[in-house]
Amino acid sequence: MSLTAEGLTKEFIRETKNTNRFTAVDNVSLTLDSGELTVLMGRSGSGKTTLLNMLSGLLEPSSGRVSYDGRSLYEMSDKQLSRLRNKHFGVIPQGQTAIHSLSVMENIMLPFALYGEGGAEDESYARELMERLDILQLEGAKPAELSGGELRRMAIARAVIRKPPVIFADEPTGDLDDENTIAVFDFLKALAGEGAAVLVVTHENDAKPYADKLLTMSSGRLNECE
């Protein structure tokens, strides 16, 4: 399994001095391999989220291609690509992403529920994940009752409930304290150890030791630091 990007570029319409285009991601190529945790750092506005969205099949690039196991993502139908995201990609988006009418457990099981799947076994895996993320006691609670950090950990559990081969995390520790930040990185590292390809966008310098590969972005360009 591998996810490869070649010449990914994303331009947005924006009035500037010379042109009306703004290049958020500029000709980026990279590969995510299973078993590896890749850390992507960079200043705010450098294009990290934009890149991650293109890699995870959520944002069509202006040019370039993303392929997963030899299949080009943006040549698939929306239905196929959606199903692929559902089963193979686990995305932890930036910000709060709870569905408010559902309990914590239902939120976590949502990737199954969306396709009418998921059984008792999957629920017990959900509990295992909650246990590891220290939110097991919140199983029946509604998102409105949770703290920012708890919501974030719920989103992490939801992203990995289907044991996806590729995991994208956009600042997963944004609102966590130091202790929980370490726990989350340990958790993601462990998933990589179990064979997942993990891409983490972060500002935390604490993340560096976890990185098998460290990338930085500035003004839409990617620099490999190793």
Partner 1 sequence: MKSLAVKNLKGKPVRTAVLILLSALLTAAVFGASVIVSSLRTGLGSLENRLGADIMVVPYEATTQKKFENIVLQGATGYFYMDNKRAEQVMQTEGIKQASAQYFLASTSSSCCSVAVQIIGFDPETDFTITPWVKKSYGSQLKKYDVVVGNDLNAFVGDSIQFFGVECHVAAKLERTGTSFDTAAFTNTETIKELINTSVVKKMNSVGDVDPDNAVSCLMINVAEGYTPEQVVNDINLHVKKVKAIRSEELISGVSQSLDGVCEVIGIMIAAVWLLGLVILILAFTMSINERRKEFAVLRVIGASRAGLAGIVLKEACLSCLLGSVVGAGIGLLVIIPFNGFIEQLMGLPFLLPGAGELVKYILAALALSVISGALAAAVSALRVSRIDTGVILRGDN
CB 199 within 8 A of CB 222: no
58 binds partner 1, rule: CB under 8 A: yes
DSSP three-state, residue 99: coil
Number of H helices, E strands in the chain: 6, 10
Q: CA of 76: how far to CAs of 41, 66, 71, 166, in Å?
A: 30, 11, 8, 18
Residues in region 7-46 near ligand ATP by CB under 6 A: 12, 14, 24, 42, 44-46
CA nearest neighbour of 11 among 65, 64, 62, 74: 62
Cβ distance to ligand ATP smaller for residue 24 or 109: 24
Interface with partner 1 (CB under 8 A), residue from 63, 115, 131, 206? 115
Nearest residue to Mg ion by CB is 49
Where does this chain touch partner 1 (CB under 8 A) — which range of 29-37, 81-89, 188-196, 216-224? 81-89
Interface with ligand ATP (CB under 6 A), residue from 30, 47, 180, 192? 47
- 216 interacts with, out of partner 1, Mg ion, ligand ATP, none, CB within 5 to 8 A per kind: none
User: Which positions lie near ligand ATP, rule CB under 6 A?
Assistant: 12, 14, 24, 42, 44-50, 94
